Amino acid sequence: MSAANRTLPSTARAQSVASLVGLLAAALLVLHARYAGQAFMPAYLFVWFFLLGLSLGSMALIFVHNLTGGDWGDQIRPVLEALVSLLPYCALLAIPMLVQLPDLYSWMRSADNAPLDVELAQTWYLNSPFFWTRWVLYFAVWMSFGLLVLKRSSATAAGAFSMRAASAIGLFLYLITTTFSSIDWAMSLTPQWVSTEFGLLTATGQCLSALAFAIVGTAWFAPAKEGDLPHRFHDLGNLLLALVLIWSYLAFMQFVIMWIEDLPRDISWYLPRAGQGWGRLTLFLACIHFAVPLLVLFSRRIKRAPQALRMIAALLLFACLTDVFWLVIPTFRPQRFELQWNDLLALLAVGGIWLGLFLRAVRRTTVNAIPVQMPDATVHHA
């Protein structure tokens, strides 16, 4: 039996377990929110936004690989393609959130229910009809280019040129749509706050989380063999380091600009994240999202060691999840840092269902595209 065939039963079992955990957690999430009186939509939003970022970041990385080439992309591409294929499911997973959008966004509430926290100059953009139109437009663009990147470029020079041209256009549209979608879904949670760097910061975080997930996923489905070229892991480590540096620079410059201006509107977003326990999470995030990866990835030997690179990728994946939690949740809990059962249940519910869908997708792509290595089974002959 081939290695690829041997991995199918284990992947199918993992898919079933993840889906079952997700469905059970979803039921518990609804029951807990109903009887505990705690709204679970903020937790749902942060988990969904993180998982959507994995698919979008994977699509951007495929665009970059189509434009630049290199062994690094060939190695992780099957996992990236499996993540891109989940974009339609991300749209479906957003449905429970869509029916309760006014609970998340204060600018959607009528004046009878709550005061609008939006300046008159912003109402042309922050209004429900235009919000829904942009939502549909984002997913139309993403899924159209998602279908495109899932098709391998042809062997002809014309086909390769066409794929590179489409990737260049797709990368440009990715940056535009990600910028505006991050404004809609994350920044408008505090509608009076404005940052011109927020969209690019979000896009960098999505690419970083997608690359980290792809490294961990490829290690799971295709463990490194003795004959693998060390420069492949070195290239992935360099790309991780570059994305860490870009993300850290953008995050720091955004903070410095707000600190220098010291305007009430600008600091309104940072104040809840600087005190009442959230400040400790901010320092923790600075350590695991910047300091530790930076020190580790400067080492050439570590970047060429598959096991070490996987560990730092797993740490960065957790850091990206924590970062999205830090972006979304303090808006709803400004008084103090607090972890609720809704956070864990939303992570298990949405994450479990999403993981089941990912494993289903990866069975169709990864095991057929990369040589999955499994321990040889002992065969007894009669």
Structure tokens at 212: 């980290």
The whole-angstrom separation of Cα 331 and Cα 188 is: 10
Closest CA to 142 of 206, 99, 67: 206
From 32, 145, 151, 52, select the one nearest 97 (Cα to Cα). 52
Tell me the two tokens of residue 367: 């095991």
Q: Is residue 67 part of a domain?
A: yes
H/E stretch holding 213: helix 198-221
Q: Assign 275 to helix, strand or coil.
A: coil
Residue 382 in any domain: the answer is no
Given this model, what pLDDT does residue 165 score? 87
pTM of the predicted model as reported, rounded to 2 decimal places: 0.88
Say what the pLDDT of residue 266 is.
78
In a domain, 377, yes or no: no
Residues 129 and 132: their CA atoms lie apart, in Å, by 5
pLDDT at 40: 87
Distance CA 321, CA 51 (A): 9
As a whole number of angstroms, the distance between CA 320 and CA 332 comes to 20
Q: Answer for the pair 117, 106: CB distance below 8 angstroms, yes or no.
A: yes
* Separation CA 81–CA 355 (nearest Å): 15
Percentages of the chain per state (helix, strand, coil), in multiples of 5: 75, 0, 25
Is-contact 373 225, C-beta < 8 A? yes
Shortest CA distance to 187 belongs to which of 242, 125, 142?
125
pLDDT value, residue 131: 92
Kindly state whether residue 184 falls inside one of the protein's structural domains: yes
pLDDT of residue 121: 56
pLDDT at 307: 85
Establish if 117 belongs to a structural domain.
no
Closest CA to 50 of 9, 82, 24, 83: 83
Domain assignment present for residue 345? The answer is yes
* 116 found inside a domain: no
Q: Are 341 and 36 a contacting pair, CB within 8 Å?
A: yes
Q: Retrieve residue 234's tokens.
A: 């070195």
Phi first, then psi, for residue 355 (nearest 5°) are -65, -40
How many domains, in total, are found in the chain?
1
The answer to whether position 272 is within a domain reads: yes
Element (H, E) at 189: none
Contact between residue 319 and residue 292 where contact means Cβ atoms under 8 Å apart: no
What pLDDT is recorded for position 233?
Answer: 81
Q: What pLDDT score does 94 carry?
A: 92
Q: Give the domain range for residue 343.
A: 3-110+122-369
What is the DSSP-derived secondary structure letter of residue 300?
Answer: H
Cβ-contact 6, 377 below 8 angstroms: yes
**What is the C-alpha separation between 316 and 213, in angstroms, rounded?**
9
Q: Note the maximum CA span of the chain.
A: 83
State how far the Cα of 218 lies from the Cα of 146, in Å rounded to an integer.
20
3-class DSSP state for residue 95?
A: helix
Q: Is 42 helix (H, G, I), strand (E, B) or coil?
A: helix
Query: Buried b vs exposed e over 143-179: b needs ≥16 C-beta within 10 Å?
Result: bebbebbeeeeeeeeeeeeebbebbeebbebbeebbb
Give me the tens of pLDDT residue by residue for the chain, a chain 382 residues long: 333 444 555 778 888 899 999 999 999 998 888 887 668 899 999 999 999 999 999 999 999 999 988 888 888 999 999 999 999 999 999 998 888 888 889 888 754 444 445 565 577 888 888 999 999 999 999 999 998 888 764 444 445 668 888 899 999 999 999 999 999 999 999 888 888 899 999 999 999 999 999 999 888 876 655 455 566 788 899 999 999 999 999 999 999 988 888 788 778 888 888 877 888 899 999 999 999 999 999 888 888 888 889 999 999 999 999 999 999 999 998 888 888 889 999 999 999 999 999 999 987 764 444 443 333 333 333 3
Instruction: Give the angle subtended at the CA of 351 by the CAs of 315 and 46, to the nearest 5°.
Output: 75
